[in-house]
Every structure is written in C-alpha cells, then in structure tokens.
Structure 1
Amino acid sequence: MKTGIPLEEAQTLLLNFTHPVTECQVSLTSAVGRILSQDVRTGINLPPFDKSPLDGYALQAKDTELANSSNPVTLEVIEEVQAGYMPKKQVTPGTVTKVMTGAPIPNGADVIVKFEDVKRAGNKVELYYPLKAGNDIIRAGEDLRQGEVIAKRGTVLTPPLVGLLAAIGVDEIPVFSKTRIAILSTGDEVIDPAEELRPGKIYNSNQHFLSAYCSQLGAAPVAMGIVPDEKEAIVERLTQALDLADLVITTGGVSVGDYDIVPAAFKEIGADIIFRKIDMKPGSPMIAASYNNKLIIGLSGNPAAAYITFDLIVVPLIKIMLGLDQKMPPKILAILKDSFNKSSTQRRFLRAKVQTINNTNYIELTGAQSNGVLKSMVACNALIDVPAGSGPLVAGQEVSAVMVGSGSELFI
C-alpha cells in the first residue's frame, strides 16, 4: 500500500483500474445524454432523393435561355406534386411540374423557379428571365452520404444528434450502460436533511452533493444512506453497495482518529488497499481500494475536501466508466484578482472562479477556504494549484489553475 502520494500518481493508479461498463440498446426517446458505445453510420443518403427546397415549378433550364421581361417564355403545367408523393410524369422541353416544398424532383427537370417569379394563367406559366441548371434543387446525399460515419464511439447524444439519427431511420442506438455509483456517508454526527436538527448533529450535505454531481455527469447514483461509526455496520453496508454498484464512494471516517474506521472496514471485506492519503490540502485523508475489479473510494467527511478530491480524482474515473474519452481536468494560467495571505508548506488547492476577458483569464477566490466551508464551493469553477513551499499569493500574479465542474467543459 502506498501512502502520502502525489495527486498525479493517485490519478494514474486509479485510471489503470477503470474501464467502461457494459453496453445496452436504448430508444431514441430516452437517448439524450447517453454515450455512444459504437460508431454509427448512415444506411441511406440524406436526403434520400433530389427534392425542392421551396414551392415552385420544376423545369428544364434550357427552355428559359431567351426569356426576358419583354419576351417571356410560356410553358405548360403537366402535373402537381406534393411532399410525400412521387411524380408520375417526366418533364420534357416546353413543360413544367408544380412542386411543393420537400417534393421529389421529377425526371427531366434540372431547375426550380419560385411561384412568385412566374405568371400563371390556366395550365400555362410565363417566365421572364433565364435560369441556371441546378439552382434551387437539394440533391440526394447533400446532407449525408450512405455509409458515412455520423457519430463516433464516445460521443454524447445531444438533441440535434438524436434528431439526425431519427432522420436516417434509427430507432434504437447502442450506448454504454449508466455507471451505478453507490454513495455511503459515515459518522454518528450525520443526519438526513429531512430530520430535525439536534445538538451535536450536522446535515448530510455530502450525500446530496455527490449524488447530484453523479447525475449531472450522466451516471446513476445509488444512495446507501448514513452508517454510524461502527465497523460491522460499515462492512455490512459496503457489501450491499458492492452488489448494487459499479463504483462505491464513502465519505467520512478516513483520517487517523479513534473513530475513523473506514480503512479497517475496507480490509475486513477483503479489499486491496491501493493507496492511503494524498499529498495535498484539502483532501489529504483519502483512501482507495479495489474489490473484485471494482473501486472503492473513501473521501474525507469535510465537504470542501470531499468536493476537491471528487472533482480531481473521481470525476475522470466516472467519465471513463461512462464511455467518454479520457479527459483529465484541463489546466490554465490566470491572473489573480485578489490575495491569499497564507503560506503553503503543502500543495494546496483554493476554490476560485475564472472569467475570461479580452482573451485573458482572471481568477478570484470564491470565499473562505477552510475544509468545512460549503459556500465557497457554489460559484467555484476552478481550483488554484498552489505548489508546496509557496508564500502568500498577491493580486496581479499569474497562477496555475485546474478547471472543474461545468467550468472544465469551457477549456477542453
């Protein structure tokens, strides 16, 4: 078992244990937000036939070569075609077919003229200017060619992509199964928000924060509730969680106090400890283990510490399990807008918010930085990475930051 390892080593060790979960088929109606498990090719051209983009007349452009305002060309209307129906007659010299928007182009026609650009009397139309062959015709395969890859494995299914899949006749789509993540809170002091607050107790924010984050990522959180600081109770609940989920996360009980018994519970169930403690602040008291090819991650019970280690270490694992491309949190440089007056003997991550103004990144702290503070997490989209041995930070200096949460998507 390794202990007190750098963040990057912890990330690498856990990534080596991680892979996408199983595949399944889902209908298009429930596909948005899911991750494709296979490349998707179109089996048809899109559109599947030449069609009209407007209401007008289909004809041969050569019939209009001599047309002008004083010498219009007169042509005969031989048919009318609505969208959804096929033409029955071929356009020949001297004839036109009336077509509606989306209607197939009749054989023999090579151009469309707008309704408003001709004068009609009975079954005759007059044209007043020459037309160019090919104008105002949407060709078969103009959008997609048969056999073309329209989405690759690992692509998130967005509403436009779902619409495109429907347009090529796809009804069901192969996706990665939703990763099930069991979340277990430990501690005699922790109670559910539905309960009345009693002396010495605190509400369970970690359970709800982690569940919400997992849902936002596209995973399926499995709430395992709160367990007291009793090894036997934690062992029982861990065993249940491993049966239900692909990844298990606990909060609390991972430090070195008399009641920090989660590591002992991990060992009791036969889990192999990968590492214990990370050389960073906050979030140092973290433990990771494996059991039957499943990871168990023990996070600190302090909300800020749990938040930071989850974002930096667990989120990349979940993304891979969901079938997304491996994406570590992106790093940027930014100009600090305020000061941080403490020295950092240990590597430290500060909750902050980045804004980009005129192509320059500016960053400011979101509030107090102690382990138990929740408020500074709300506006946080970045973590300032302060190297060990750093003195106080001053406004105007350039700092390195890791983008987290929704902010990370802006810098990928």
Structure 2
Amino acid sequence: MVTVAEAKRRITENTIALSTEVKTVQEASGYVLAKDVLATFSLPSFRQSSMDGYAVLHTDITNENISLPVVSESKAGGTSKLSLEPGTAIRIFTGAPVPAGATAVIMQERTSVENGVVMIKEFPVAENLNVRNVGQQIREGDIALSAASYLSAGAIGFLTGLNVQEVEVFRKPKIGILVTGDELVKTGEELGDGQVYESNSAMLVAALTKEGINDVEVFYAQDDLTSTINSLELLAIRNDVVIATGGVSVGDYDYVGKALESIEAETIFYKVRQKPGKPLLFAKTKGNHFYALPGNPASSLVCFYEYVLPALRLMSGRNDNFLPSFKLPISHAYSFNGERDEFLKASVSNAQVTSLEGQESFALRSFAVANALIYLPVTQQNVYAGDLVEVHLLPL
C-alpha cells in the first residue's frame, strides 16, 4: 500500500505526453500547443482608436474648453490615409484608424459639439491617449503563444485575430472503460433481485467529456477471468488508457488484477492509504495505461479526479494537471480514526468549506452537489470549526 503522495508521484513519473497532431484553430479549443506559434504581423497592424471621440494633436489642447473645427471622419474599416492638420479635429470611432498627425483621441463624453466645432473638456491631454499603437499587443516575429500553452477560448480568439489557421497540438488520449459486476444492469432495463443500475460508466464519460476527451468507448465484462482478460486486451488495442471500474478488490469475483497480470501489465502500485478509494490499481504496458478503480461510485469518482484526471492531462501536454488546491477554513468540526487519509465531498462558498452529509463510498447524492474535495491526512484527524484544511476544487 502506498501513500496518497507516493501514488501521485508514481503516476507522474510514469506518464508522458502523447504524440502530436495538426488541427485547425477552430478545432483546437481545449488542446495544448506542441510548438511555439509566431506572429506573422504586428497586432494592431495600424494605429487604432480605443474610444468613440475625436482625434487631435495633443499639443493643441493648451487649456480646458479649447474649440477645434471637425474636418473629417474616421470609422472602423475605413481608410488609414487620413491626415490631421494642426488646429483641427477628426471624428473617430472605436477601432478606426488614427489619422496621420493625430497624437491622441478625446473620448466623446469629454466633448461637446455645435455647428461642426468640438469643444474639448479635458486638459492636459497625454500623448497617445486612447490610441492603440502598432504592435502594442504583439509585434511581428514575436512568439504569440509558446509551446505547452493551453488553448482556451481567449487563446483561440487571439490566434484567429493573427490569421493563424492551423496549430500543432498534443493529441488527447483515447479511453476505454471496462465495467465489471454481474449485479449491474443498464439503465432502462428491469432490475432483478440483488441488482442495481450501473452508473459508473456514465459518470466517468461525463467527467471525460467535461475535460474535452470525447474518444471514449465502454465495454462490459462478465464476472469471470476469461471475459475480463478478453475485454482488457481488446480495449488496450483500441485505446491509450483503459479504466476498469469494479473487480479490483479481494473478493472471489474480482478478476481485474489477475487479468492485468495475464496480459503482462506491470503493476506500478496497488492500494492507496486513503478513504474512500483504497483498492486503486495503476499498471502499464509499453503502449497503455491501466487504472482499476473501486466499484463503489463515490470511491471511483474520487480516484478519477485525484489520480486519473491528472494523468490524462499530462498525456494531453498540460502542466497544470492536478486539481486546484488551496487552504480554507472548515465550517464545522470533523474527526476520524484509522490510519488512512480521507477525502470528503464538500462545498466551497463564502470563503469557507463545508463537508457534506453522505460521505459513504457508495453515496453519490453528496457528490451531485459537491464542488470540492477536502483532503485530510492522518496527521489532521481532528479539525475544529475555523481550522484551515486542504481543498481540491472540482472541475464543474
């Protein structure tokens, strides 16, 4: 059995980014850049106004309430060949080219206009006031986004504005999910005695979809060794990562561990000193990672967020792979006995964290409303209201 920290260390040490692929910028949201992207032109590529107002020569504004004749107009998408003569003003709009000779833009709200003459109600006026200069955002030849950058919505917009059409990114892993347990019934079918509806696969698919991993398939294996081996082998051929749910404990019908031995997967660790989720197994072959999660739904989801998701992010090229972690005061006292660290389903609000009712490993109702996990090591078995605890924010 390994500690929580040791389990995370071993996963990190045994995980590398996958191969790369080229995607259009529109398809690349949520991916990670594999190579630097250079700007092929400056942005802005011409001097732009950041306000609706009037373009002027800033040295013409020698006192408040200076009046200047309005001689022309510059609008967004219009010509950049206008020129401003000293002692005049040009009407201008946000995003429009700043005329040659103009050194500032006075915002409309600081002016008044009558009979083609604008009165400037601002003094003094700084040079380049409300002017976006050429290359102010980025200059031609500079690195627009560096390798390992996560392509957020803002990144996609930025690259599109630079006319970048394709990028090289790390591909995301293909995932095979193996469900074991003869007591499990698919949604919509009739329950028999001793049976329950299988929810882990839907839960894991939803978590993967949230992460932008959509190449996922689900297999079901009977509670026998041959079926489990065959399913693992087939999923391994078709995927980068295989996630088994159930069948990893020490019961007579738990075959995942034996099946992994049969396909010659190397076990990196088995069992973590934590509650819930003790019977977690991580194994690998030359081409695959295998994660065997506990069958109890809450245990399975805790293990996914704390161990599997960080590994999938590393495979996808991300460096910020673990859940965001910080310290918050706990709203109520909590204590536990034993020699295992605990993860508590929790809710963060109003700058504090509250552990929820229903911490049992089978209970998903509390997970349905949780937005965080509290991590309590065995050295922190007794906490009181107001004590600082480690909080891991869930990707909702």
Q: Secondary structure at the match of 1:406?
A: coil
**1:1-400 correspondence to structure 2 within 5 Å:** 4-54=1-51, 58-61=55-58, 77=71, 80-88=73-81, 90-93=83-86, 97=90, 99-112=92-105, 117-120=112-115, 125=117, 132=125, 134-329=128-323, 330=325, 332=327, 334-335=329-330, 337-340=332-335, 343-344=337-338, 346-355=339-348, 357=350, 361-364=352-355, 366-380=356-370, 381-387=372-378, 393=382, 395-396=384-385, 398=387, 400=389
- Deviation of the 1:336 alpha carbon: 5.3
CA contact (8 A) 2:75 2:92 kept: yes
Per-residue deviation, 1:337: 0.3
1:43-82 deviations in Å (ceiling 9; x for gaps): 322211112344555454555659967xx56x583x5544
User: 1:87 Cα shift?
Assistant: 4.5
Q: Over aligned residue pairs, what C-alpha RMSD do you find?
A: 3.2
Question: Could you tell me how far apart the structure 2 residues matched to 1:333 and 1:7 are?
Answer: 20
Q: Which has the larger radius of gyration?
A: 1
8 Å Cα contact 2:70/2:91 also seen in 1: no
Q: Secondary structure at the match of 2:276?
A: coil
CA–CA distance in structure 1, aligned partners of residues 94 and 31 of structure 2 = 34
Tell me which residue corresponds to 1:410. Answer: none
What amino acid does structure 1 have at the position aligned with 2:256? Answer: V
Change (3 A) 1:376 1:61: closer
Q: State the shift of 1:92 in Å.
A: 3.8
Contact 2:176–2:219 under 8 Å retained in 1:
no
Is the CA contact (8 Å cut-off) linking 1:248 and 1:296 kept in structure 2?
Answer: yes
CA distance in 2, matches of 1:356, 1:59: 50
Q: Which runs of 5+ in 1 are unaligned?
A: 408-412
Q: CA separation in 1, counterparts of 2:22 and 2:146?
A: 16
- Contact map agreement 1:35 1:155 (CA 8 A) in 2: yes
Cα deviation digits, residues 366-391 of structure 1 (max 9, x gap): 12333222223223311342418x87
For residues 271-290 of structure 1, give each alpha carbon's deviation from its aligned partner in whole angstroms, at most 9, with x where no partner exists.
12222222333222222211
Q: What SS does the corresponding residue of 2:274 show, helix, strand or coil?
A: coil
Question: Which string of whole-angstrom CA distances, capped at 9 and with x for unpartnered residues, describes residues 147-190 of structure 1?
Answer: 44443433332223322222222222332212222111111111
Report the Cα distance in structure 1 between the residues aligned to 2:266 and 2:74, rounded to whole angstroms. Answer: 71
Equivalences, count: 390
User: What SS does the aligned partner of 1:5 have?
Assistant: coil
Query: Are the equivalent residues in 1 in contact too, given 2:243–2:290 (CA < 8 A)?
Result: yes
1:218, 1:322 within 8 Å by CA — same for their partners in 2? no
Conserved 8 A contact 1:214-1:221: no
- SS of residue matched to 2:314: helix
Q: Is the 8 A contact 1:351 1:377 kept in 2?
A: no
Q: Which consecutive residues of structure 2, in runs of 5 or more, have no partner in the other structure?
A: none
Q: For the Cα contact (< 8 Å) 1:351–1:369, is it kept in 2?
A: yes
| Percentage of identical aligned residues | 28
| Distance (whole Å) between structure 2 residues aligned to residue 89 and residue 254 of structure 1 | 74
Q: Structure 2 vs 1, CA of residues 80 and 335 (structure 1 numbering), >3 Å: closer, same or farther?
A: closer
TM-score when normalising by structure 2: 0.85
AA aligned to 1:6 is T
* CA distances 1:251-295 after superposition (whole Å, capped 9, x unpaired): 111122221111111122221222222233322222221112321
Q: Distance in 2 between matches of 1:339 and 1:98?
A: 66
Partner amino acid, structure 1, of 2:8: Q
TM-score by length of 1: 0.82
| Pair 377,55 (structure 1): closer, same or farther in 2 beyond 3 Å | closer
User: Structure 1 residues 233, 332: closer, same or farther in 2, change over 3 A?
Assistant: same
Give the residue type in structure 1 aligned to 2:340.
R
CA deviation profile, 1:16-60 (whole Å, cap 9, x unmatched): 221112222322333332323333343322211112344555454
| Cα drift, residue 250 of structure 1 | 0.3
In the alignment, is residue 406 of structure 1 matched against residue 382 of structure 2? no
Distance 2:270 2:163 in 1: 51
